[in-house]
Homo-oligomer: A and B are copies of this chain.
Amino acid sequence: MRVAVDAMGGDVGPAAMVEGAVLAARASSDVQITLVGLTGQIEAELTRLSAGGNMEIHHASQVIEMNEPSKVALREKADSSITRAIHLLKDGKADAVVTAGHTGATVAASTILLRCLPGIRRPGLAVPFPAHNDRKCLVIDVGANIGCEPEDLLHYGEMASVFVETVDGIKSPSVGLMSVGSEAAKGNKLVKQTQELFENSDLNYKGNAEGGDVFGGKLDVLVCDGFVGNVMLKALEGLAVWVTEALRDELSRTWWLKLGAAACKPGFRELRSKLDTAGYGGAPLLGVKGNVIITHGASGPRAISYTIQRALDLAKAKVNERISAEVTQHASLDTEVEDA
């Protein structure tokens, strides 16, 4: 299996990406990795790591920066590492793509170049969160599709269920529909239009859910509109940053607190790792013709390596073939693809 890794993505660029790829190559004998990006920088990293024997490099002369608008970046940077990596997938020269780069550009490039699976109108980006009882909850969509239709939400539930069942090995995953209360009468127009589609589907549908159910440990999949999922995801990240900084401030006020904090350090590290572990494996972009996984820009080498393993699992399990077989086909579906 061949995984194309966008070597230029992520907050620290090639250093973390190349090291993650090297770790993944050492962990699996059946992965062939192609590093996509600026050849000089990639080679320098491989030299630093005394590695690279089994790595290919695919040159891309441009890098999409995290703060660039997706559309402009894609138009003006046709030779970016993200676009080149997706082209490898499209041309059958890779079985999966991993990037820690620009989410919007990756979604747009994947949608335009790979196109959606038959019957799917828009792809959905699925992010795993840690939950009670050491479970995980996969929330889809967190921002690939800002104008969801009821059929999109049904497809998100179906695609995420296939993913969780195939890649995480969870039989008949439980699926909730994000709303403002568990009663069926609660919800906005989109939720009310969608409920019946879920009820008539083959999913293990548990009805309406609420924001708190992300962490409740009772749902394997939580489906929401991309606008709602994106606001929620970023607010949760914001709270995590705020709490971390506020705690650091509080625990440095006296020498006694500093001492306590030093003693607690292994515990804090474990908690952070639990938060990160959920994110390991990254966010699959479900619904496009190809295996694309986007991981957090702040990912370190270990997370990158794990994400590459997951991309491999995704490709081996032929998740997209299963999705194509299982999604409900709607004759009325508007299959026009716009820029996501």
* Interface of A toward B, CB cutoff 8 Å: 69, 104, 130-132, 143, 146-147, 178-181, 183, 185-189, 210-216, 224, 226-228, 230-243, 245-247, 250-251, 253, 256-257, 259-268, 270-271, 274
Contact = CB atoms under 8 A, between A and B. Distances in A.
Contacts of A233: 211
A227 B267 contact: no
Nearest to A210: B234
B264 A230 contact: no
B212 A237 contact: yes
Contact of A224 (B146, B231, B241, B270): B231
Contacts of A228: 227-228, 231
Nearest to A212: B238
A271 B250 contact: yes
A214 B238 contact: yes
B242 A271 contact: no
A179 B213 CA distance: 22
Given A257-B266, A259-B263, A232 B232 contact: yes
Contacts of A179: 227, 231
A242 B130 contact: yes
Contacts of A256: 263
Contacts of A236: 211, 235-236, 239
A245 B189 CA distance: 35
B245 A271 contact: no
A215 B239 contact: yes
Nearest to A265: B260
Given A211-B238, A239-B236, A231 B263 contact: no
Contacts of A266: 257
A146 B212 contact: no
A37 B211 CA distance: 32
A126 to B, nearest CB: 16
B238 A216 contact: yes
Contacts of A250: 267-268, 270-271
Contact of A267 (B183, B216, B247, B267): B247
Contacts of A241: 212, 215
Given A236-B236, A264-B257, A180 B230 contact: yes
Given A236-B236, A266-B257, A188 B227 contact: yes
A143 B271 contact: no
Given A146-B188, A211-B234, A267 B260 contact: yes
Contacts of A215: 235, 238-239, 241-242
Given A231-B210, A260-B260, A260-B264, A187 B271 contact: no
